[in-house]
């Protein structure tokens, strides 16, 4: 049999080594040692890590790469970012949004990202972001899974047109129902918005991704309502609570009740370590809150947790480089996920866990899976996070779509090696 692609001598995420992966017609057809068959492309992985592509379950692509437009966020705060986005929205065109988003997708693919869930602001009567992102989804479909969330940035009930516009966005083909209950005028309106949005998702058979409790306020407890509505409407496994940063401020007795509820509802949780720890804790002197939800505790309770990147060079966050290993590393450090098991789990948090959040089909390096993979300059997942490993090759449907030279440094030091490979094992 002739294959389209055979990758030889790979290390896999589960620890298996010297594994070959054969692909045909965009599907993985064999995963085992010593595959001997002709192929259009044969790649020697050289005992480096072959993984499914990274998955970013929380991003804002309609605002990405807009840094400095119409002006710079000098303070770097959430509130100034919100104000800036309000200034930019009426000034930008559909083409502006498309061009920035497409460029970001180029960067994302180069960094081994194969799927992104992006929130799309619907608080614009022209629905410019919706129009733009639907076109971007169409354009990138051959090489990137892009899932879009109808997001009422200014609040479903706070903005007089948000509910109507969100319905319009879903009718146009947006994939997921979004919300922001902590930004409504009152806690009661936040609760009401969750019920409205979850009922809408249930009626339409859609997933839910709610900006939930993105606050240091211990009384911001909308995730409790989100879990309750998930159970009431039979939405288990289809609902994600993004951020949940208020959980780091809640008392332990309340959390001891909350965690089993989230697990029972099969709620997914999406912290965004880079942006969360930058924007939270702003009203503290010392001690300062960490800005991330209780990842170890959620993990221990059986709740599926996936890390997102949230932003890159936009009104809220001026940093970032589409690097999910940077996200995993920051989540690892701030969450004190220090055991070897926990560190390896952080790689899962930007791959398998996030793929489950998005409901991706055929994800993973398994027979019958989609031939979407990334070859990393590292020997295992922990080393990949430590090194922010170079993405040597990125494959989509069995075809090479991105390639980066290995990171090597030439030394000119007497008595020392001429070449240093950061991924070479020390022993």
Q: What is the DSSP string of 100-150?
A: HHHHHHHHHHHTTEEEEEEEEE--STT-HHHHHHHHHHHHHTTT-EEEEEE
Q: For the domain bounded by 3-52+365-410, which CATH number is listed?
A: 2.30.40.10
Please name the residues in contact with 405: beta carbons below 8 A apart, sequence gap of 6 or more: 390
How many Å apart are CA 194 and CA 224, to the nearest integer? 10
DSSP string for residues in 289-351: P-SS--HHHHHHTT-EE----B-SSSSS-----S-HHHHHHHHHHHTT--SHHHHHHHHHTTT
Tell me whether the omega of the peptide bond preceding residue 287 falls within 30 degrees of 0, making it cis. Answer: yes
CB 239 within 8 A of CB 207: yes
d(CA 310, CA 348) in angstroms, rounded, equals: 18
Determine the Cα–Cα distance for residues 84 and 316; give it in Å rounded to an integer.
8
For residue 290, the model assigns a pLDDT of 84
- Residue of 36, 80, 199, 214 marked catalytic: 214
Cα separation, 213 vs 183, in Å, equals 9
Query: In CATH terms, are 3-52+365-410 and 54-358 the same topology?
Result: no
Give dist(CA 346, CA 161) in Å, integer: 40
pLDDT the model gives residue 38: 92
Q: How far apart are CA 154 and CA 129, in angstroms?
A: 14
Residue 427: per-residue pLDDT? 63
Which residue's structure tokens are 């001997």? 36
Residue matched to tokens 């807009």: 66
CA angle 51, 12, 105 (to 5 degrees): 5
11 and 46 Cβ atoms separated by less than 8 Å: no
Pairing of strands 54-59, 113-121: parallel
The CATH superfamily holding the domain 54-358 is Metal-dependent hydrolases (3.20.20.140)
Handedness of CA 327, 331, 337, 342 (dihedral sign): negative
**Domain regions of the chain by residue span:** 3-52+365-410, 54-358
Cα 354–Cα 239–Cα 372 angle in degrees, nearest 5 = 25
State residue 424's pLDDT score.
86
Residue 74: which residues within 8 A CB-CB, separation 6 or more? 80
Mean pLDDT by 10 residues, the chain (427 residues): 94 97 98 95 97 98 96 92 94 97 98 98 97 98 98 97 98 98 97 98 98 94 98 98 96 97 98 94 88 96 98 96 98 97 98 98 98 98 98 98 97 94 82
**Distance between CA atoms of 211 and 178, rounded to whole angstroms?**
7
Catalytic site residue 214?
yes
């Amino acid at each position: 049999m002739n294959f389209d692609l055979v990758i030889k001598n790979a290390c896999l995420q589960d620890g298996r080594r010297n594994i070959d992966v054969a692909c045909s017609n965009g599907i993985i057809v064999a995963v085992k040692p010593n595959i001997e068959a002709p192929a259009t492309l044969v790649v020697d992985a050289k005992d480096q890590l072959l993984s499914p592509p990274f998955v970013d379950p929380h991003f804002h692509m309609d605002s990405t790469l807009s840094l400095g437009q119409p002006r710079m966020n000098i303070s770097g705060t959430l509130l100034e970012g919100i104000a800036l986005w309000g200034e930019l929205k009426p000034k930008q065109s559909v083409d502006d949004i498309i061009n920035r988003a497409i460029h970001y997708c180029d960067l994302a693919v180069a960094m081994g990202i194969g799927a992104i869930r992006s929130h799309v602001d619907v608080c614009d009567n022209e629905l410019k972001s919706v129009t733009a992102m639907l076109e971007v989804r169409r354009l990138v479909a051959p090489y990137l899974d892009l899932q879009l969330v109808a997001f009422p940035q200014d609040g479903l009930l706070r903005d007089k047109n948000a509910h109507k516009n969100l319905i319009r966005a879903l009718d146009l083909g947006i994939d997921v129902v979004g919300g922001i209950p902590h930004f409504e005028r009152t806690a009661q309106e936040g609760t009401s918005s969750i019920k409205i949005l979850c009922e809408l998702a249930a009626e339409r058979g859609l997933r839910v991704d709610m900006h939930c409790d993105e606050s240091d306020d211990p009384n911001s407890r909308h995730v409790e309502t989100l879990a309750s509505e998930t159970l009431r409407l039979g939405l288990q496994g289809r609902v994600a609570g993004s951020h949940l940063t208020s959980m780091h401020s809640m008392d332990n007795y309340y959390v001891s009740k909350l965690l089993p509820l989230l697990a029972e509802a099969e709620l997914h949780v999406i912290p965004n370590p880079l942006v969360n720890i930058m924007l939270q804790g702003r009203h503290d002197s010392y001690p300062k809150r960490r800005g991330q939800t209780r990842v170890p505790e959620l993990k221990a309770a059986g709740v599926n947790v996936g890390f997102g990147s949230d932003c890159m060079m936009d009104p809220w966050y001026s940093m970032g480089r589409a690097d999910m290993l940077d996200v995993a590393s920051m989540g690892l450090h701030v969450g004190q996920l220090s055991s070897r098991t926990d560190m390896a789990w952080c790689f899962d948090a930007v791959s398998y866990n996030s793929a489950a959040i998005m409901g991706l089909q055929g994800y993973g390096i398994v027979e019958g899976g989609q031939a979407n993979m990334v070859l990393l300059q590292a020997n295992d997942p922990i080393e990949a996070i430590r090194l922010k490993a170079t993405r040597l090759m990125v494959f989509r449907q069995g075809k090479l779509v991105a390639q980066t030279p290995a990171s090597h440094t030439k030394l000119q030091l007497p008595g020392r090696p001429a070449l240093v490979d950061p991924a070479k094992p020390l022993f």
